[in-house]
Amino acid sequence: MEIKEKHTEKAYKEKEQLSCPLLKQGCGGCPMLALPYEEQLRKKQKKIKKLLGNFGKPQPIIGMENPWHYRNKAISTFTYAQGRQVKSGIYVQGTHHVIPVENCLLHHPALDEAVRAVRKAVREFKYPVYDEDRKTGLVRHILVRHSLAEDQILAVLVTSSPVLPGAKAFAKRVRQLCPRITTLVQNINERSTSAVLGYKERILYGKGYIQDTLCGIRFRISGSSFYQINPVQTEILYRTAAEAAGLDKSQTVLDAYCGVGTIGLSAASRAKKVIGVELNKSAVRCAWENARENGIQNAQFLCADATDFIRKMAAKGERADVVFMDPPRAGSTPEFLRAVSSMRPEKIVYVSCNPETQKRDLELLTKDGWQVKLIQGVDMFPHTEGIETVVSLARK
């Protein structure tokens, strides 16, 4: 089976002798770690063909040149180890038992460095660890994000209470331990829930966000922002989507499920106009800020339900030439897909992180007169079973 050679044998050999001790302890973060990377790509290509092959011949999956340390985001949960020493790590798969983690083969090394710094400061300030059963303690999680372009780190300390004794001194100590942390945020999660982040936060140091560059566009990244975790492959993913759309600066592009505008803004230079639609108000505000900071004047973002918005466009006789859609893992809805068809765009470009729900949606679209023109897999998550696919469709 042909695979696009975007990785090297050397990259795997540098790591193939390494064994991860976390596997034996129940970590489920890298279920394909034992397989050579070439074999991982073959398995993923086979799955794409099985799920989507009836719609057309899938192109060879695009793998990574160096499939290690690609993650730009990590979450570490606090726990007590032997002797009541504060540790932090990852949950054992399917449980709430925490395995202490010092290093991860998928994290950018800066993430582990930042986690160690925050954890050390927590020990020094003697903050108690939150106990889920007793609902006691203070510190719950550390969330860290890294900007590959700027080499900056955002660190978020999640607490069960807004009261953080010695907060200014704590922030200063964290910065001493890890100068790459350019902003430190306290997030307050007072809920008895498995959700990591709460709704309230305060900035302890810096601006409260970092910036990264993707496809030549600078984006703000906060603790709660949706932002792809693999910046190297995301460039390939979005470039593939833009090329599949065949943009030549004459088209109006509708970016449904637009989030903070990553796909729409990255395609704006090739389009006449970009309209982004998103239900999350915070994401829409970020999308406007990202457009303004990059001087992009041919993009607008609206807070609305995408299905209702498209129906209203169609009722007014308005249309978009190209529709980008990047729905959550659950996929789209029949109502949305029918609304898109009623607007009669020239092309649909469907980006998915779940080819199983994508298959279901493609069946509806093909029955409604659409034809699949491209199926392209991109390996966004090496050593895991995750698959990202770009599918373009045109009217028959």
Question: What pLDDT digit, counting tens, does each position of 123-165 carry?
Answer: 999 999 999 888 999 999 999 999 999 999 999 999 999 999 9
Per this entry, what is the length of the chain? 396
pLDDT, position 6: 47
Catalytic residue among 104, 215, 286, 353: 353
Return d(Cα 287, Cα 301) in angstroms, integer. 7
- pLDDT, tens digit, for every residue of 349-369? 999 999 999 999 999 999 999
Q: Taking the model in full, what pTM does it have?
A: 0.89
Asked whether 216 and 239 are in contact (CB, 8 A), the reply is no
pLDDT at 81: 85
Q: Is 353 a catalytic residue?
A: yes
